[in-house]
Amino acid sequence: MMNQSSNSSRATQVRRGLLIGTGYFSDFHLDAWARLPHAEIIGVCDVDEERARRAATKFGVTNVFHDVRQALELEGIDFIDVATTPNNRLELMALVAQRKLPVICQKPLANDWATAQKIVGLAEEMSALLMVHENFRFQPWYREIKRLLTEGRIGRKLHTLSMRTRMGDGWGEDAYLARQPYFRTMPRLLVHETGVHFVDTFRYLAGEIDECQAILRKLNSGIAGEDAGQLNFQFSSGAMGVWDANRYNESQAENPRYTFGELLVEGDEGSMWLDGRGGITIKRLGEAVVEHPYHRSQLGFAGDCVLATQQHFLDCLDGGKCETSGTEYLKSLAVVEALYESSERRCVVSLVEHSKSSAPQATQGRPPNLPPAGSLHPHATDSLTRRIVDLSLPVTPKMPGVEVSQCKFRDADGWNATMLQLYSHSGTHMDAPCHVLEAGATLDQQDLSACCGPAWVVHVPDVSPQMLLTVAHVTDVLGDLEPGARLLLRTDWHRRFGTPEYRHALPRISEELAHWLVDRKVALVGVEQLSVADVNNREELAKIHEILFRGGVVIVEALANLDQLTQPQVEFIALPLNIVGGDGCPVRAVAIEYGTSLPAGETPHAP
């Protein structure tokens, strides 16, 4: 929802807001707003006017309303904070949207998938910022764990997240009555109300979820929804996740609502533990356990994450990228829907990153053509909507390093056959680390999972000869990247194939970009030029390849036809031959697009 104040309204401006809903959790909202120097709540609204007055008195708010329409007429407000329950949320948001103001809205966004989509659609129609108040990812321990993962403190590859949650607030006949009594009648409880936090946090830490499975049950017979479950996740990066949770049994934590459980994070070089006090310990493989010092607040809710969330909202109003926008939050809701489907049908659910009109579908196994999470394909299992684009240069005898001669003839021998002699880096090809590293891995040792999956297409326009490709060329299109991402750098250089410039003036990956790709744990990079570095500069050629290979980045070179792609993300496949000891080989690289292509003549667009 984006009708933000003018460019002159920056961090020094005090933004004034209206809070709708003064139930239990709104106290944390109002407390955080009161402590943020550049925000002020000037009005509160609740159908229970007396409750609204108590909140206003407690936090010094001037204007009190019990009618939403009247509240929305309040002058001088810059944003709206919606802290109601999800019941009747669509009707409320339809009224709120008419003000065309930025909105921060408590989760769950709605009680069902279709309504959540409609709410996000309302926001987009009004062109105003909609941020979902999803605060768990802003808890200080998760921000610190994310930072440590990015630094590589426990290795280059995250492989497992294991969270155990025992809330202990749902075991008696009076379960939930004191704090949030509506929990008792929610038909969906554990995953819908609590699990969505961990779905979002797991996505924040490990990237998009490719598959999930849930076993859900109810331990307290006096409530409507499920209160216990075991949830399993498979991430597109190859990592796995487990959330073992119930609200019935108690933990040993002094305050179970501080961290909501204990987390184990495991990588290829060590492990991290989060305890119930917010403490983080680290053990690198073969080394001693160490406590990791960092600051976590005891103010507010769960490490003061409400304040951090609302500060992020203010930062977004100043032009920052929103981590939990409505469209981004739909990705977490899609996983929630898939988890319930999994529990009902007792099966693994494969997720397709859906469009706004699509929900995940359960299957007994992954369909052969199902694209992975993050690929924005609403009808991937329908072959009629699948478009395959060949990204490979044609292999002909005219290509350098290629010799083709006929050795069998149908008339004389009963069949035709040719003798092929190929330079290992002819045409569209994949390099193996041993191409430049003394003890590098060979083709037969290549992890094939990196060679196929979702890939971002990054268009770098107006490429000049010998131009250096920089970090800005990527971040201007995509922003930051999740670990395990694949990048296809579109430069349209394949159009120069057959000219001297194709080899001798190719654009190159800069040393800065190479290190950045490694730091972001990119799985694969594909380029249209025949090399990622200047083939006439031996030092540069070795350095760039070495940086990427030592960082675990797969290199595919001499791609073609990226200009034929119409979607910002595609399913990419480029598999090498199983050549024992091979340093490289030609590949047949293809991209698969799902859904409707752009009309003829329309150019591909960036996300």
Cα torsion through 57, 60, 66, 68, rounded to 10:
-160
Query: How far, rounded to the nearest angstrom, does the alpha carbon of residue 592 sit from its chain's CA centroid?
Result: 20
For residues 201 and 267, state if they share a domain: yes
φ/ψ region of 579 (left if φ > 0, alpha if ψ in -120 to 50, else beta) reads: beta
For residues 111 and 174, state if they share a domain: no
For residues 83 and 151, state if they share a domain: no
For residues 187 and 74, state if they share a domain: no
Tokens found for residue 500: 């001297």
Domain count for the chain = 3
Domain that holds residue 74: 15-132
For residues 112 and 251, state if they share a domain: no
Would you list the DSSP string of 528-551? SSS-SS-TT-HHHHHHHHHHHHHT
Q: The dihedral of CA 333, 335, 340, 345: what is its sign? A: positive
> Would 606 be classed as within a structural domain?
no
Q: What is the pLDDT of residue 368?
A: 28
Distance CA 61, CA 12 (A): 21
Distance CA 343, CA 215 (A): 5
For residues 581 and 511, state if they share a domain: yes
> Would 157 be classed as within a structural domain?
yes
For residues 114 and 221, state if they share a domain: no
> Would 350 be classed as within a structural domain?
no
3-state SS, residue 203: helix
For residues 161 and 251, state if they share a domain: yes
Distance CA 150, CA 153 (A): 8
Domain boundary, last residue among 231, 265, 299: 299
Check whether the bond before 108 is cis (ω within 30° of 0).
yes
For residues 469 and 491, state if they share a domain: yes
- Quick one: which of 392, 577, 333, 372 has its CA closest to 485? 372
> Would 307 be classed as within a structural domain?
no
Domain boundary, last residue among 257, 277, 299: 299
Query: Count of CB atoms within 10 A of residue 268's CB?
Result: 13
3-state SS, residue 594: strand
Distance CA 585, CA 576 (A): 6
CATH number of the domain at 440, please: 3.50.30.50
Would you list the DSSP string of 212-256? EEEEEE-S-TTSSS--EEEEEEEETTS-EEEEEEESSS--S-S-H
Residue type, 488: L
> Would 287 be classed as within a structural domain?
yes
Distance CA 436, CA 428 (A): 18
- Quick one: which of 325, 359, 357 has its CA closest to 127? 325
> Would 344 be classed as within a structural domain?
no
Distance CA 257, CA 176 (A): 14
Q: What is the pLDDT of residue 598?
A: 35
For residues 501 and 532, state if they share a domain: yes
For residues 65 and 212, state if they share a domain: no
Q: What is the pLDDT of residue 56?
A: 96
Buried b (16+ CB within 10 A) or exposed e, 484-503: bbbbbbbbbbbebbeeeebb
Tokens found for residue 237: 């990066």
Looking up tokens 């430069």, which residue turns up?
491
CATH number of the domain at 175, please: 3.30.360.10
Domain boundary, last residue among 75, 102, 132: 132
Consecutive 10-residue averages of pLDDT for the chain (607 residues)? 42 87 93 96 93 95 94 95 88 91 92 88 89 96 96 95 94 84 83 93 95 93 89 94 94 91 96 96 96 94 95 94 93 93 89 49 34 35 65 91 91 92 94 94 92 92 93 83 89 93 95 94 96 95 96 96 89 95 96 58 33
Backbone torsions φ then ψ of 411, nearest 5 degrees = -65, -40
For residues 108 and 229, state if they share a domain: no
Distance CA 486, CA 128 (A): 31
> Would 252 be classed as within a structural domain?
yes
Distance CA 202, CA 191 (A): 14
Q: Burial, 513: exposed, middle or buried (Cβ in 10 Å; 0-12, 13-18, 19+)? A: buried
CATH number of the domain at 55, please: 3.40.50.720
> Would 61 be classed as within a structural domain?
yes
Looking up tokens 């032009």, which residue turns up?
319
Which are the contacts of 181, defined by CB distance < 8 A and separation ≥ 6? none
Distance CA 199, CA 226 (A): 17
